[in-house]
């Protein structure tokens, strides 16, 4: 279980909205001042992220809680969203090259158009499947609440 500390920002019955700070590894890197990636991530990346989840635990606005997401869910979602579209692209590109080799369109760029379209639709189909069918597998859960919140200090 991957755990993160978050702050409750809204409570609506059994639904809780929490806000967590996004941590970047760029802050710990020694090449931070010379790296373009670090500059871009500090300038463009959002500093916080909000999640809405349901919980039977009573919480208050401003209270710090621990939110968890199962590792298995993150790993399987990563395979679905990264590996399968890559396989679809390679397969579609190979098939396009072999089909186009018998025509006048023998340049490799002509195979990119159908490969890109198939990869895009594969990604959209996988995203739809993950959103509709396996929503509970990837849903963050409220694990615990801390006794001392930022409001009480």
What does the pLDDT read at residue 6?
Answer: 85
pLDDT of residue 104: 77
Residue 2 is predicted with a pLDDT of: 79
Per the CB < 8 A criterion, the answer to whether 63 and 151 are in contact is: yes
Residue 151 forms part of a structural domain? no
Contact between 6 and 51 (Cβ < 8 Å) = yes
Query: Alpha helix (H) ranges present in 14-136?
Result: 36-44, 71-78, 84-100, 108-132
- Residue 148's pLDDT is 57
**146 domain-assigned:** no
> Does the predicted model carry a pTM greater than 0.75?
no
Verify that 60 and 96 share a domain, yes or no. no
85 shares a domain with 37: no
Last residue of a domain, one of 40, 69, 98: 69
Domain residues for the domain of 78 are 72-135
In this prediction, residue 110 carries a pLDDT of 85
Are 82 and 43 found together in one domain? no
Residues 32 and 65 in one domain: yes
44 shares a domain with 7: yes
Q: What is the pLDDT of residue 23?
A: 65
How much is the pLDDT for 149? Answer: 45
Residues 129, 106 share a domain: yes
Q: What angle do CA 11, 16, 22 make, to 5 degrees?
A: 120
Report how many domains make up the chain: 2
**How high is the pLDDT of residue 55?**
80
Burial class (CB in 10 A: 0-12, 13-18, 19+), 16: buried
Residues 27 and 56 in one domain: yes
61 with 96, same domain: the answer is no
50 and 109 fall within a common domain: no
* Per-residue confidence (pLDDT) for residue 32, from 0 to 100: 61
Give the per-residue pLDDT at 121: 95
108 domain residue, yes or no = yes
Give the other-Cβ count within 10 Å of 123's Cβ.
Answer: 17
Residue with the two structure tokens 């090259």 = 97
Low-confidence ranges of the chain (pLDDT < 50): 149-153
In this structure, are 58 and 83 located in the same domain? no
Domain boundary pick from 48, 69, 90: 69
Whether residue 17 is found in the same domain as residue 63: yes
């Amino acid at each position: 279980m991957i755990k993160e500390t978050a702050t409750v920002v809204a409570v609506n019955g059994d639904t809780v909205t929490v806000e967590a700070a996004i941590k970047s590894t760029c802050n710990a890197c020694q090449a931070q001042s010379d790296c373009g990636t670090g500059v871009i991530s500090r300038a463009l990346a959002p500093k916080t992220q909000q999640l809405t989840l349901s919980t039977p635990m009573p919480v208050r606005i401003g209270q710090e809680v621990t939110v968890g997401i199962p590792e298995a869910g993150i790993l399987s979602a990563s395979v679905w969203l990264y590996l399968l579209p890559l396989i679809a692209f390679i397969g579609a590109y190979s098939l396009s090259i072999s089909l186009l080799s018998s025509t006048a369109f023998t340049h490799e760029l002509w195979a990119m158009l159908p490969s890109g379209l198939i990869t895009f639709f594969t990604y959209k189909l996988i995203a739809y499947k993950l959103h509709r069918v396996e929503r509970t597998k990837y849903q963050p859960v409220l694990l615990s609440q801390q006794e001392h919140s930022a409001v009480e200090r």
